[in-house]
């Protein structure tokens, strides 16, 4: 069994990006600049955004963090987005999700200019991704492709089963892995809460992408030998033996499934770190487009 180490791989990618940033600066070009808007006080979101800011510092990016109170109106948030859309110093920006309940997330994501949408959530970018045109691929699917690529996991002609159909992971993964690309050319089955005979389907899979948000859902009895497993899930479960009071579990029962797997991602330390690395990669791409 080979561990698909997202922590190490993301560190390698950040080194590569830092090298490219130094080259840009040496040539007198603009330094990449990523901005993030966070509304409210969601603990996980604050931790995640702070990690993004730290990652920007590590690779030599400029970064701007805009903190807005929980009671910020939808109109005020749209105004902030409009300002960032026309600020030539900002190459790309993200609006950290989830947003407070009184704000329409879809309306907010639609307001982000597609050429600055480094999260890859705008319908224009999703459409381009579906048509296999150059665009921003959302960071988690992009990170999974990169992880499979760097570990030379063969996808061509393989049967991939994607568990989950979210717009952020499940749906784009099913499209990307079926496309004519280096990490692609797979036959993809997308499963969800209405899928019948799920175990029969997962037992046929050469590669499983688990993204349903149910801790340890995928058991050893559901996978065949030498399967490749990508665990996208991350759930906090109470654990009084831990200093933090909780532990993190993925969608895969790691201990038992890893005994049958050829490749598997850990949780934490698998897909999560890759997401931030690919967000930086998208920002670098946006900056290079602006430099042209």
Catalytic residues: 52, 96, 119
Report helix, strand or coil for 151. coil
User: In the chain, how many H helices and how many E strands?
Assistant: 10, 11
Handedness of CA 238, 243, 249, 255 (dihedral sign): negative
Backbone angles phi, psi at 141, to 5 degrees: -60, -40
**Residue 69 CB contacts under 8 Å (≥ 6 apart), including other chains:** 39, 40
d(C-alpha 223, C-alpha 261), whole Å: 8
CA distances from 213 to 231, 276, 285 (A): 10, 19, 30
Report helix, strand or coil for 163. strand
């Amino acid at each position: 069994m080979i561990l698909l180490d997202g922590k190490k791989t993301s560190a390698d990618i950040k080194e590569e990006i830092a090298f490219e940033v130094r080259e840009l600066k040496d040539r007198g070009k603009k330094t990449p600049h990523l901005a993030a808007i966070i509304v409210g006080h969601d603990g996980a979101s604050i931790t995640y955004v702070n990690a993004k800011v730290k990652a920007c510092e590590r690779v030599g990016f400029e970064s701007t963090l805009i903190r807005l109170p929980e009671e910020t109106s939808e109109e005020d948030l749209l105004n902030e987005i409009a300002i960032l859309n026309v600020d030539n110093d900002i190459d790309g920006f993200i609006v950290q999700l989830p947003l407070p309940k009184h704000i329409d997330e879809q309306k907010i994501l639609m307001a982000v200019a597609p050429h600055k949408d480094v999260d890859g959530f705008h319908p224009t970018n999703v459409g381009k991704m579906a048509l296999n045109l150059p665009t921003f691929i959302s960071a988690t699917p992009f990170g999974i492709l990169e992880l499979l690529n760097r570990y030379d996991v063969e996808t061509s002609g393989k049967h991939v089963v994607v568990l989950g159909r979210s717009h952020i992971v499940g749906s784009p993964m099913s499209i990307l892995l079926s496309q004519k690309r280096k990490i692609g050319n797979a036959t993809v089955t997308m499963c969800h809460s209405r899928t019948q005979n799920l175990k029969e389907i997962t037992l046929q899979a050469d590669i499983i992408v688990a993204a349903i948000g149910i801790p340890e859902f995928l058991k050893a009895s559901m996978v065949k030998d030498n399967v490749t497993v990508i665990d996208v899930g991350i759930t906090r479960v109470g654990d009084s033996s831990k200093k933090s009071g909780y532990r993190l579990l993925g969608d895969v029962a790691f201990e038992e499934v890893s005994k049958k797997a050829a490749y598997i991602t850990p949780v934490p330390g698998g897909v999560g770190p890759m997401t931030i690395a690919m967000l930086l990669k998208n920002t670098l791409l946006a900056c290079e487009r602006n430099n042209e």
